[in-house]
Every structure is written in C-alpha cells, then in structure tokens.
C-alpha cells in the first residue's frame, strides 16, 4: 500500500495541537535542545520515508514480473470460490479453453468439463472444500466451442484473511502426452509383433542362420542350421566355430574370420563337418557385426545346403566328359560325312555340267552352222534347248551355294555395310539402267558377321530389287536401317512388282516363286539362301509388300554373332 505523506502530517499536527499546553513549560535552553532533537527526528523520518518508497517500488516491480509469469505460465491457472465459480484465470487457461480471461470470470469450472465427467468433478471439488486435502485427477475437458481435449486438474484449498475458503486450480493439457503414450504403445506392440515375425522367419526359413561372437564362439543358431549339421541348437551354443569344420578347411576358415574382422562381407562355398563326421557343402554369406564403438563383435552368416547340388555337379562333369568325347567322335564323323558330301556335290556338279556343256555347245554350233536350214519353229525349239541348259546350269550353281551355306565356316569380323552396299550396286546395276535407276543409301551402321556371307545376302536382295523393279519407268531402291528389338535392322526397299502378303511365308522356301518365269527369271533359291545365312548369324529376316507397289526385305544381325565354326574346309558360297 502506498504511503500518503500529506495525511501523515495532518494527523501529526492534530495530535500535537491536542497535546500542546498540557506539558510543563520549557526554558529557552530546553526549548532549543528540544527543537534540535525534533529536527534530527524529522531528518530520520525523511530518510525512513525514502527507504519505504524504494521498497514499495521494488515490490511493485516484483509484483509485475511475477504477475507476467502467472499470466503466461505453461499450465492453465484459476482461482475458484467455494461455489466453484472462476474468480481469476491466467492467459494460458483462457487460450486452452479458447475463451477470453474476462469471459471466464464468474463462470463455473464444470462448464468446461465433458458432460459425462461433470458430476465427478463437482464431487471432487466438494470433497476438496470439505477436507482441505489437495486433489489431482485426469478428466475430459471441452473448449468454449465444444472441442474436446484431455486435461489433468490439480486443486489446492486455501483460507483468506476473512476465513473464507477458495481453491487454486492448475490445468495441464494431456492430449499430446496421451497421443505420445498411445503411439509409444503401438510402437512397442509393433516391435513385439516384428520380433515375433522375425523369430518365426528365422526358425522356419530353409536356410541356416549362424552367429558367432568376437572369439568365434557360437552365440546363435536357428533350428535349420543345427539340423543341417546333425546337432540341436543347444548343443551348438557356446561352441567354437572350428568345432564344426574339417581339418582341411580350418586354415580357410581362419582366413575368413580375419576378413570379417577387417569388415569384409562376402559369399562363397564352404564345407562343414556334420556330427557323424560326414561333410556338408554350403553357400555361406557372411557379414561382420560391429559393436557401438565400431569394434568387431562377431559375424552373422546365412548358410544354404548345396550338398546335393555339388553331387549333381560332379555327376554332370562326368557326363560332360563322356559327352565331349562322344561329341568329338560325332564331329569327326560329321567332318568325314561333310567331306564326302562336298566330294559328292563336286562330282554331281561335274557329272551334270558335262552333258549340259555338251548340250549348250552343240546347240550353239547348230545355231551357227545350220540355222538357215531350220524353219522358225525349229530355231525356237533350239533356243528353248539352249535356255533350258543355261537354267539348269544356274540351278546347279545355286543348289551348291545353298548346300554349302549350312556347312560354311563362319569368320566373324567388322563389316562396313555402307561401303559393301555401294560396291554391290556397281555390280548388280547394268550400265544401260543407270539413267532409269535411283539408289537412295541411308548410310546403314556397321555390323559384325561373316563379310563374305553377308555380301551374298545383300547381293541377292539388291539383285531381286533390280529385277522386280525393272519394268518401272524409273526404278527406286532404298537401302538403310532402323532400330529393332535386337539392334539395327537393315532393309532393301523397291518400287517394283511387290507381292501378296498372304503368300509371304512361301518367299523364303527353296524353289518357291510368287511370279511366273515368263514375268521374271530366276531359280527360287536366292531368298532361301538369304534366310539360311541370316539364321546362321542368329538374326531374323522378314518381308513386307503390296502387289504393284513394291516390297521391303529386312534382316537383323545380333551385336555378337553366335559361335558357329565348322571343321569342314571353307569353300566360296557365291
């Protein structure tokens, strides 16, 4: 309370006037002494009054500081009278209830309690005022707008100077803590469930699980691992790793442990020893385990029994050894057979060519020496004989080429497809056709294969394109490539006679022709030879066309041609 100096002086003067004249009369000396004493007391009172003012200022500053702490305390704070009405409230309580401090004054606290808990809270407050014992309990609360939240009330009863009781209440919001506890509970449940799943997986997996400590003693094995070695898990626990390893494999095992200590994880084949002394081959994937300080604490391994696989591999090696011998023998037989076939083909070729040469030679002599004695019909017959002989000779050549294509020893090498196409165009296009011919080369990318065989493929496709577009006023041939599923796909496209796609499957068969000999000459071997060569390279060939609008023949060559080396001697195909 602030001291009023004017009021104090008025009261002092009043009392002095009442007492004036009632005391004994003083001498002048005594009066002077008394005056001096009064002056000293006056100064003392002034000093005391200044001290009181400083104390009052300090108390006011302290009150303001602590009032701010009260208003902004981390918990809600309220003062209730004995009827449960709010007399004071700090800002935290008002904010938590989504109300203003002023609107809370005079309202019952249970207005902000969940209706389901209101009666219990009222009973708690009555018991509190009756017994004076502090009370703390958790209760459902509601904000001014009805939004629910969970809170904890702590209440203490006090008596004021008049003897009336009041209650100081703190409110702590428990929503976040409860959510945290709920999440923690769920997390712990998930951890327990995960541990259970881990246990079930470890115990039911088909692979063995083995863990050793820093001294290479067994710290854990699952049941599958123990069964693999003929032990129970209890028998293996605490046993050194080397107890289960053959003497021959011990040095390898020691090196492997050292690699784990160096932090190296790896997978390799390893042989363990069963309880009965027999061996079990495994694939062992080992990973080092580290302690929190980074030091080596042991290793964890996943172990798969491959004993049966090892046994099967040994049997396969034996079978392969026998098979290789049989293949060698069979290859020798095939080589001899191929030599015989080559000799037979050469013999047949020679034997067939001799009478053909005779027919053609005598026919030519007859045409030169006796043509004037033949009537037109006889001359036509003679020309038919000569054309048949030439066709028969070409057919023999093509058959030999087709036969040798399957037994031709392939030599893989880089191929400059662009240069090869340009060279072949100069060979297959007659000099008298260049003025009616247009070749559009799109620089096809290089490839890999047998250059001589691929040259045969391109020669046949370009020759066909020239032949079937020969009746056009201007023949146009496009040569290029496009990206296919297996790499570049090369194509030769013409604007010639084309064909019906319904018969496309016959194009690559031997002696299969879609056009009559009177329309276009040929033996029906060329496209069959193309397919055989491309197939030997591991590629594919296909054709697209439309009658009267031309055809497109495409073939693909894999990036890496298959290994196909014949032991027969190499003879030219073309």
DSSP state letters, 119-153 = HHHHHHHHHHHHH---EEEEEEEE-TT--EEEEEE
- What's phi and psi for 546, nearest 5 deg? -145, 135
Could you tell me if 40 and 154 lie in one domain? no
Task: Give the pair of three-digit tokens for residue 254.
Answer: 């020691």
Per the domain annotation, does 180 fall within a domain?
A: no
Task: Give the pair of three-digit tokens for residue 183.
Answer: 């999440």
| pLDDT recorded at residue 368 | 76
CA 498 to CA 464: how far, in whole Å? 11
CA 370 to CA 358: how far, in whole Å? 17
Quote the number of domains for the chain.
5
Q: Which residues pair with 71 in a beta bridge?
A: none
Read off the DSSP letter of residue 10.
Answer: H
Task: Give the pair of three-digit tokens for residue 373.
Answer: 């004695």
Sole residue written with tokens 């190499």: 570
| pLDDT recorded at residue 333 | 76
- What's phi and psi for 538, nearest 5 deg? 85, 15
Q: How far is CA 468 from the centre of its chain?
A: 53
Could you tell me if 442 and 523 lie in one domain? yes
Could you tell me if 104 and 125 lie in one domain? yes
Residue range of the domain that includes 364: 317-407
The DSSP H or E segment spanning 310 is helix 307-369
Nearest Cα residue to 154 out of 142, 129, 172: 172
Per run of 10 residues, the mean pLDDT along the chain (length 574 residues) is 60 66 65 76 77 70 63 83 88 88 90 87 85 87 90 88 86 79 77 72 81 94 92 94 91 92 92 93 93 92 91 88 84 70 61 69 75 76 73 63 60 88 83 78 87 86 85 87 83 87 75 57 72 86 88 84 45 45
Residues whose CB falls within 8 Å of the CB of residue 459, separated by 6 or more in sequence, listed in order: 424, 427, 428, 574
Residues whose CB falls within 8 Å of the CB of residue 356, separated by 6 or more in sequence, listed in order: 389, 392, 393, 396
Pairing state of beta strands 279-290 and 447-449? unpaired
- Report the sign of the C-alpha dihedral through residues 65, 68, 70, 74, in that order: negative
Could you tell me if 45 and 153 lie in one domain? no
Task: Give the pair of three-digit tokens for residue 437.
Answer: 């011919």
Could you tell me if 23 and 94 lie in one domain? no
What Å distances lie between residue 495 and 267, 385, 476, 543, 552, CA to CA? 61, 34, 6, 14, 9
CA 550 to CA 66: how far, in whole Å? 101
Per the domain annotation, does 184 fall within a domain?
A: no
- Report the sign of the C-alpha dihedral through residues 183, 185, 187, 189, in that order: negative
- Report the sign of the C-alpha dihedral through residues 435, 438, 444, 448, in that order: negative
Three-state SS at 304: strand
Asked if residue 553 lies in contact with residue 491, where contact means CB atoms within 8 angstroms, the answer is: yes
Q: Which residues pair with 210 in a beta bridge?
A: 221, 301
| pLDDT recorded at residue 164 | 84
CA 191 to CA 179: how far, in whole Å? 18
Three-state helix/strand/coil letters over 150-190: EEEEEEEEEECCCCCEEEEEEEEECHHHHHHHHHHHHHHHH
| pLDDT recorded at residue 369 | 74
The DSSP H or E segment spanning 223 is helix 223-229
| Last residue in a domain, options 19, 53, 70 | 70
Asked if residue 398 lies in contact with residue 525, where contact means CB atoms within 8 angstroms, the answer is: yes
Could you tell me if 531 and 547 lie in one domain? yes
> CATH no. for residue 403?
1.10.287
| pLDDT recorded at residue 350 | 59
How many other C-beta atoms are found inside a 10 Å radius of the C-beta of residue 272?
24
| Last residue in a domain, options 349, 374, 407 | 407
| Terminal CA-CA length for the chain | 127
pTM score, whole prediction? 0.37
Asked if residue 139 lies in contact with residue 121, where contact means CB atoms within 8 angstroms, the answer is: yes
CA 295 to CA 300: how far, in whole Å? 15
DSSP state letters, 419-475 = HHHHHHHHHHS-GGGGGGEEEEE--PPPEEE-HHHHHHHHHHHHHHHHHHTTTSSSE
Sole residue written with tokens 């005779």: 358
Asked if residue 506 lies in contact with residue 512, where contact means CB atoms within 8 angstroms, the answer is: yes
CA 501 to CA 514: how far, in whole Å? 11
Asked if residue 486 lies in contact with residue 540, where contact means CB atoms within 8 angstroms, the answer is: yes
Could you tell me if 323 and 355 lie in one domain? yes
Per the domain annotation, does 193 fall within a domain?
A: no
Could you tell me if 53 and 140 lie in one domain? no
Per the domain annotation, does 44 fall within a domain?
A: yes
Asked if residue 166 lies in contact with residue 79, where contact means CB atoms within 8 angstroms, the answer is: yes
Asked if residue 456 lies in contact with residue 533, where contact means CB atoms within 8 angstroms, the answer is: yes
Could you tell me if 101 and 116 lie in one domain? yes
CA 536 to CA 531: how far, in whole Å? 9
| pLDDT recorded at residue 348 | 60
| Last residue in a domain, options 407, 432, 464 | 407
Per the domain annotation, does 562 fall within a domain?
A: no
Per the domain annotation, does 179 fall within a domain?
A: no
Three-state SS at 569: coil
Could you tell me if 138 and 258 lie in one domain? no
Could you tell me if 213 and 274 lie in one domain? yes
Per the domain annotation, does 121 fall within a domain?
A: yes
Per the domain annotation, does 183 fall within a domain?
A: no
Task: Give the pair of three-digit tokens for residue 550.
Answer: 């031309």
| pLDDT recorded at residue 374 | 76
> CATH no. for residue 219?
3.30.450.20
CA 455 to CA 461: how far, in whole Å? 10
Could you tell me if 388 and 445 lie in one domain? no
CA 360 to CA 342: how far, in whole Å? 26
């Amino acid at each position: 309370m602030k001291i009023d100096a004017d009021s104090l002086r008025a009261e002092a003067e009043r009392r002095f006037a009442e007492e004036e004249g009632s005391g004994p009369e003083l001498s002048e000396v005594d009066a002077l002494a008394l005056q001096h004493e009064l002056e000293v007391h006056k100064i003392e009172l002034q000093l005391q009054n200044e001290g009181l003012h400083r104390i009052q200022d300090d108390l006011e500053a302290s009150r303001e500081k602590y009032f701010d702490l009260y208003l902004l305390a981390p918990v809600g704070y309220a003062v209730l009278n004995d009827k449960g009405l709010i007399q004071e409230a700090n800002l935290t309580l008002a904010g938590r209830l989504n109300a203003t401090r002023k609107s809370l004054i005079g309202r019952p606290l249970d207005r902000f309690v969940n209706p389901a808990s209101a009666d219990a809270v009222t009973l708690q407050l009555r018991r509190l005022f009756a017994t004076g014992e502090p009370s703390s309990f958790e209760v459902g609360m509601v904000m001014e707008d009805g939004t629910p939240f969970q809170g904890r009330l702590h209440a203490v009863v006090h008596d004021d100077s008049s003897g009336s009781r009041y209650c100081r209440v703190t409110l702590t919001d428990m929503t976040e803590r409860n959510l945290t506890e709920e999440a923690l509970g769920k997390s712990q449940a998930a951890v327990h469930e995960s541990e259970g799943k881990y246990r079930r997986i470890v115990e039911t997996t088909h692979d063995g699980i083995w863990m050793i400590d820093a001294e290479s003693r067994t710290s854990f094995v699952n049941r599958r691992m123990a069964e693999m070695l003929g032990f129970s898990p209890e028998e293996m626990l605490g046993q050194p790793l080397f107890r289960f390893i053959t003497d021959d494999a011990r040095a390898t095992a020691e090196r492997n442990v050292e690699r784990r200590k160096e932090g190296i994880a790896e997978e390799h084949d390893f042989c363990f020893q069963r309880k009965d002394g027999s061996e079990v081959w495994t694939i062992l994937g080992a990973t080092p385990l580290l302690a929190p300080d980074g030091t080596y604490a042991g290793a964890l391994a996943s172990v798969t029994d491959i004993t049966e696989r090892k046994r099967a591999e040994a049997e396969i090696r034996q079978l392969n050894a026998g098979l290789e011998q049989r293949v060698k023998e069979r290859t020798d037989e095939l080589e001899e057979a191929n030599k015989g076939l080559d000799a037979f083909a050469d013999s047949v070729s020679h034997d067939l060519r001799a009478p053909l040469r005779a027919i053609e030679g005598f026919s030519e002599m007859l045409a030169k020496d006796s043509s004037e004695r033949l009537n037109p019909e006889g001359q036509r017959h003679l020309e038919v004989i000569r054309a048949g002989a030439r066709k028969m000779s070409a057919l023999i050549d093509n058959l030999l080429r087709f036969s040798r294509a399957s037994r031709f020893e392939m030599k893989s090498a880089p191929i400059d497809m662009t240069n090869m196409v340009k060279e072949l165009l100069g060979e297959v296009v007659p000099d008298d056709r260049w003025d009616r011919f247009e070749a559009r080369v799109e620089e096809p990318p290089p490839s890999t294969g047998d250059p001589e065989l691929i040259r045969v493929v391109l020669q046949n496709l370009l020759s066909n394109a020239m032949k079937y577009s020969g009746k056009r006023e201007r023949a146009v041939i496009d040569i290029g490539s496009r990206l296919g599923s297996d790499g570049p796909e090369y194509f030769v496209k013409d604007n010639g006679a084309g064909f019906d796609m319904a018969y496309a499957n016959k194009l690559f068969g031997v002696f299969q022709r879609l056009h009559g000999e009177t329309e276009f000459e040929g033996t029906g071997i060329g496209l069959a030879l193309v397919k055989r060569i491309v197939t030997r390279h591991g590629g594919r060939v296909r054709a697209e066309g439309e009658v009267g609008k031309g055809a497109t023949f495409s073939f693909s060559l894999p990036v890496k041609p298959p290994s196909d080396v014949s032991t027969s001697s190499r003879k030219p195909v073309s």
